Structure 1
Amino acid sequence: MSGSNIRETKFGKMTVGQLMETNVQSANKDSKAEMLANYMMEGYGSVPIIDGSEKLVGIVSEFDLLKALRKGSKLSEVLASDVMTPNPISAFQGMDVPAVIDILQNNHLIRVPVVDGSGKLIGIIARRDVLRGYLQSGS
């Protein structure tokens, strides 16, 4: 399958909404980094940070926590707002597979939060979700 015809395949016509995980572990700006580290131990490689109206305002990755540790910080004293990447790259539910693959590859990301039209967090899509979609599509 070449990149020029992926959009013509069953897989290429799939959307982020069909592939994303909707059970997303999120936190807020005042969450302790230690709690975020615990989420990551449960299999979440990054944690989206939302505001009071569930709008995506940032993301904290394992790298962000490692950077804080390297500086000598105690994760029990660090807040998400101290280490998060603000205004993270995100995807939309109706985005097609080729577009989300481009986002993941061009930005060297493992997963991307999914937001609705108002910026509210509604899911997350990871590289493995895309690969699972490919395998299930029979393309």
Structure 2
Amino acid sequence: MKHLRTVDDVMTHAVITVNRGTPFKDVVKTMRQWRISALPVMSDEGRVVGVISEADLLLKAQGDESRAVSAGQLMTVPAVTVTRNAGIASAARLMARGHLKRLPVVDDDGSLVGVVSRGDLLKIYLRPDKDIAQELRELILTRLMPAGSAIVYVHVSDGIVHLNGTIPDPSLSDVLVRIAHTVPGVVNVTARFDAEAPA
């Protein structure tokens, strides 16, 4: 499994959309057919102008939007979108803040390139433990530790990273823990290091 870091790594590329003029019943049919809870609403120029969700449709069903009969009249605006190169963590925060289940993904020019769901963002936690361990070892060996300055062992079990070994400075333990937390798929980190004996 490749390193999963950005929205582009986990998003769904095939996107079902509607336009402003799509009738209410067609929106419902589309959601049911594709088993999705929200649809991007597109302009004639191919830009996302809003999102219509099951919640928007329920407002209509309750009579709160009695004159709204099309996607353009029911959609939520402005559309909350995320760029394809956004980090997975930032997309997750955006979803959590807005209580959103899905986000349209746009390119640098604003054109729709995919959609990302909560389930997509959770894919990072399916990374094999050996992939997480390998990435972390590479980070430690190639970027952080001068040769011979420390001995760091990395073990990963069910996404939990266990670090141990010998380090020259106890404060380095906190640095290593913070770095381990940046690796996609890491659930938690434990560290038990011995201080290097003075020469």
Partner Cα distance (1:133, 1:23) in 2: 20
Q: Give the CA deviation at 1:87.
A: 1.6
Relative contact order higher in (CA < 8 Å, ≥ 6 apart): 1
Q: Give the CA deviation at 1:137.
A: 5.6
1:7 counterpart residue number: none
Compute the RMSD of aligned alpha carbons.
2.0
2:50 to 19, 43, 58: 58
Matched, 1:119 2:110: yes
Q: Provide the TM-score with structure 1 as the length reference.
A: 0.83
Partner Cα distance (2:110, 2:90) in 1: 18
SS at match of 1:86: coil
Letter of the structure 1 residue corresponding to residue 107 of structure 2: D
Letter of the structure 1 residue corresponding to residue 80 of structure 2: I
- On the 8 A contact 1:25/1:44 being kept in 2, the answer is no
Partner Cα distance (1:33, 1:130) in 2: 30
Partner Cα distance (2:13, 2:66) in 1: 31
In structure 2, relative to structure 1, the CA distance for the partners of 1:58 and 1:72 (3 Å cut) is: closer
1:82 counterpart residue number: 73
- On the 8 A contact 1:55/1:118 being kept in 2, the answer is no
1:108 counterpart residue number: 99
Q: Give the CA deviation at 1:59.
A: 0.6
2:31 to 28, 34, 40: 40
Q: Provide the TM-score with structure 2 as the length reference.
A: 0.59
SS at match of 1:60: strand
Partner Cα distance (1:137, 1:52) in 2: 43
1:70 counterpart residue number: 62
Matched, 1:91 2:96: no
In structure 2, relative to structure 1, the CA distance for the partners of 1:74 and 1:44 (3 Å cut) is: farther
Partner Cα distance (2:64, 2:120) in 1: 35
Matched, 1:130 2:121: yes
Work out the number of aligned pairs and report it.
127
Partner Cα distance (2:119, 2:66) in 1: 32
Please list, as runs of the form range in 1=range in 2, the aligned pairs for 1:6-21 lying within 5 A after superposition. Answer: 11=4, 14-21=5-12
Partner Cα distance (1:137, 1:86) in 2: 39
- On the 8 A contact 1:93/1:114 being kept in 2, the answer is yes
Structure 1 moving runs of 4+ over 6 Å: 72-75
SS at match of 2:89: helix
Letter of the structure 1 residue corresponding to residue 87 of structure 2: D
